[in-house]
Amino acid sequence: MKRILVTGGTGFIGSHTVVELQQHGYEVIIVDNLVNSSIEVLDNIAKITGIKPSFEQFDLADPAKTADFFNRNKDLSGIIHFAAYKAVGESMQKPLEYYRNNIGSLLNILEGMKTCALGDIVFSSSCTVYGQPDELPVTEQAPIKPAWSPYGNTKQMCEEILRFSAASLPIKAIALRYFNPIGAHESALIGELPLGIPNNLVPYITQTAIGLRQSLHVFGNDYDTPDGTAMRDYIHVVDIARAHVVAIGRMINKRMKHNMEIFNLGTGHGFSVLEVIQSFERVSGLKLNYKIVDRRPGDIEKVWASTDFANKELGWKAEKKIDEMMTSAWKWEKALADRKGQQ
């Protein structure tokens, strides 16, 4: 059984990817420092798949601990690297922590890969590297624009580190640029674990509907879009997770055509904030309490993916539609409330 290291595997996208990997016959070991997730995720993964993943808790930004891990794990077939700080707004306040953590962790992992002659890494990147594209849908060949945040800059820098490492070291890398991952596993056993006030739209919608938040603030309705609110390419987290299984399989089966490959993970369709709200109201039967306020500094106006390359080259396509995404997000929020009620 091929063994895959999933860093950040107790996080939102990481946990959904672990479920898909196990269900596709891979053995998984998770490394996570649990600063942004909780250890119960391991049991909830086991409730879904029947297999509790191996787990080690330490900080991948620690060179000695990471080197020690790789010295003890020389049988890995691949790595999927999620572990990173990922809050755009927080990164504006704490740039040095973001560079040290996000860049340092990747460098320690690449050093570790040399130790155990491991050559395959899938990297969690983001459409944020594009900034506001000049043309839509945005393709993988679109110019990378100056980052709007240290978070986005670390994603750009990590892609460049992988590109040069893959050119000179015995390493192959696939960078997956997520658009806006939302929703939750249909079991409602894993999902986006909210720590504090959500930055992202969908958890804020469901927390408002469940009564944790007073009302949703819609950040601007004066954009150049059909209803004036900003547009994004929302994609179900399970579709994102399945793309990682395809990517790691491509590497392990030596189907890559270049030492570094980059793929957009989106649906190819943009939805406005109001359309997402309308989808939520449709699937929940509730009226959402929201009001239009000023734009959020740093937000881009509209972005959605060109999916041709991922569809053709990876043979992967996002399947789930917006109403299914919002249904799963709402089911997850209600499950969280039930669990709190039981505590």
Q: Based on the residue annotation, tell me whether 151 is a catalytic residue of this protein.
A: yes
Minimum CB separation from ligand WQD for residue 180, in Å? 5
Minimum CB separation from ligand WQD for residue 298, in Å? 8
- Distance CA(304)–CA(194), nearest Å, equals 25
Q: Which stretch binds ligand WQD (CB under 6 A): 32-40, 75-83, 211-219, 328-336?
A: 211-219
Query: In the chain, how long is the greatest CA-to-CA distance?
Result: 56
- Distance CA(265)–CA(231), nearest Å, equals 16
Based on the shown chain and the rule CB under 6 A, indicate whether residue 244 belongs to the binding site for ligand WQD.
no
Sequence-ordered strand ranges (E) for the chain: 3-7, 27-31, 54-56, 78-81, 120-126, 172-178, 180-182, 216-219, 231-232, 234-236, 260-265, 271-272, 290-293
Residue count of the chain, please give it.
343
Of the candidates 113, 39, 33, the residue with the CA atom closest to the CA atom of residue 79:
113
Minimum CB separation from ligand WQD for residue 273, in Å? 5
SS3 label, residue 342: helix
- Distance CA(324)–CA(326), nearest Å, equals 5
Q: Using the rule CB under 6 A, which residue among 49, 187, 199, 221 binds ligand WQD?
A: 199
Q: Using the rule CB under 6 A, which residue among 158, 218, 238, 274 binds ligand WQD?
A: 218
> At which residue do the structure tokens 């658009």 appear?
179
Based on the shown chain and the rule CB under 6 A, indicate whether residue 145 belongs to the binding site for ligand WQD.
no
48 vs 201, beta carbon nearer ligand WQD: 201
Q: Using the rule CB under 6 A, which residue among 17, 128, 165, 306 binds ligand WQD?
A: 128
User: Is there a cis peptide before residue 63, judged by omega within 30 degrees of 0?
Assistant: no
Q: Which stretch binds ligand WQD (CB under 6 A): 35-43, 197-205, 259-267, 333-341?
A: 197-205
Minimum CB separation from ligand WQD for residue 35, in Å? 16
Return the residues of window 257-286 that contact ligand WQD according to CB under 6 A: 273
**What is the torsional sign of CA 114, 117, 120, 124?**
negative
Among the listed residues 26, 151, 178, 204, the single catalytic one is 151
Q: Which stretch binds ligand WQD (CB under 6 A): 67-75, 165-173, 196-204, 279-287?
A: 196-204
Based on the shown chain and the rule CB under 6 A, indicate whether residue 240 belongs to the binding site for ligand WQD.
no
Based on the shown chain and the rule CB under 6 A, indicate whether residue 230 belongs to the binding site for ligand WQD.
yes
> C-alpha distances in angstroms, 329 versus 6, 267, 333?
24, 17, 6
Q: Using the rule CB under 6 A, which residue among 105, 126, 307, 328 binds ligand WQD?
A: 126
Based on the shown chain and the rule CB under 6 A, indicate whether residue 163 belongs to the binding site for ligand WQD.
no
Minimum CB separation from ligand WQD for residue 300, in Å? 7
Q: What is the enclosing helix (H) or strand (E) of 110?
A: helix 104-115
> C-alpha distances in angstroms, 212 versus 3, 154, 162, 337?
40, 32, 41, 10
Return the residues of window 288-317 that contact ligand WQD according to CB under 6 A: 296, 299
Residues that bind ligand WQD (CB under 6 A): 86, 88, 126, 128, 178, 180, 199-201, 204, 216-219, 230, 232, 273, 296, 299
Active site (catalytic) residues: 151
